[in-house]
């Protein structure tokens, strides 16, 4: 696995609940705690508004979210781009579970999950592009 250097080391690893909040913000953009809570209740699991709000405030303190207080309703947004956070977390999984081997991760994924014909086409194209670079 290639060394990522100091990438994202200043930002803590989000918990499962924090990732649920981040996923809502990545999908819909900057939002209020009420919007995030309503979306979680509708699509994930039942959560109390005050719990969502408190967790989002903690995420601001941890550096996972930014808060815009310039309006009456506070607007929250992710502090890191989605791709950076996912890359950091995936690197942690590869390093921890697969001894740094992306190949072992891919073999596990391909052996355990079904892929649609369209996904196989996209996957094959990615492999072709990697082969052309080498």
Does 71 lie in the same domain as 27?
Answer: yes
68 found inside a domain: yes
pLDDT digits (tens, 9 = 90+) for 19-58: 999 999 999 999 999 999 999 999 999 999 999 999 999 9
Range with the poorest average pLDDT among 18-32, 64-78, 93-107, 108-122: 108-122
28 found inside a domain: yes
Domain of 108? 102-134
The arithmetic mean of pLDDT across residues 104-133, rounded, is: 83
How far apart (Å, rounded) are the C-alpha atoms in residues 116 and 102? Answer: 22
134 found inside a domain: yes
20 contact partners, CB below 8 Å, separation of at least 6: 40, 44
Q: What is the pLDDT of residue 64?
A: 95
CATH of the domain at 43: 1.10.10.10
124 found inside a domain: yes
Q: Is the separation of the CB atoms in 7 and 45 below 8 Å?
A: no
Q: What is the pLDDT of residue 109?
A: 80
Q: What is the pLDDT of residue 11?
A: 65
How far apart (Å, rounded) are the C-alpha atoms in residues 10 and 63? Answer: 9
57 found inside a domain: yes
Does 72 lie in the same domain as 37?
Answer: yes
Give the residue from 59, 52, 49 showing the smallest Cα distance to 80: 59
114 found inside a domain: yes
How far apart (Å, rounded) are the C-alpha atoms in residues 41 and 38? Answer: 5
Does 31 lie in the same domain as 70?
Answer: yes
Judge whether residue 105 has pLDDT over 50: yes
132 found inside a domain: yes
pLDDT digits (tens, 9 = 90+) for 70-97: 888 999 999 999 999 999 999 999 999 9
Q: How many residues appear in the chain? A: 134
What separation in angstroms does the CA of 133 have from each of 65, 107, 128, 129? 37, 21, 9, 6
How far apart (Å, rounded) are the C-alpha atoms in residues 7 and 128? Answer: 28
What separation in angstroms does the CA of 48 have from each of 52, 55, 79? 6, 11, 24
Q: What is the pLDDT of residue 3?
A: 44
93 found inside a domain: no
Q: How many independent structural domains does the chain possess?
A: 2
């Amino acid at each position: 696995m290639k060394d990522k250097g100091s990438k994202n080391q200043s930002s803590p690893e989000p918990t499962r609940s924090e990732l649920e909040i981040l996923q809502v913000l990545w999908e819909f953009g900057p939002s209020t705690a009420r919007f995030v809570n309503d979306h979680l209740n509708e699509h994930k699991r039942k959560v109390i508004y005050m719990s969502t709000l408190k967790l989002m405030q903690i995420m601001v303190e941890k550096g996972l979210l930014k808060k815009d207080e310039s309006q009456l309703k506070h607007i929250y947004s992710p502090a890191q781009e989605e791709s950076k956070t996912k890359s950091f977390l995936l690197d942690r999984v590869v390093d921890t579970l697969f001894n740094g081997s992306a190949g072992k991760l891919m073999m596990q994924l391909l052996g355990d999950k079904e892929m649609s014909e369209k996904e196989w086409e996209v996957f094959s194209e990615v492999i072709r592009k990697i082969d052309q670079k080498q």
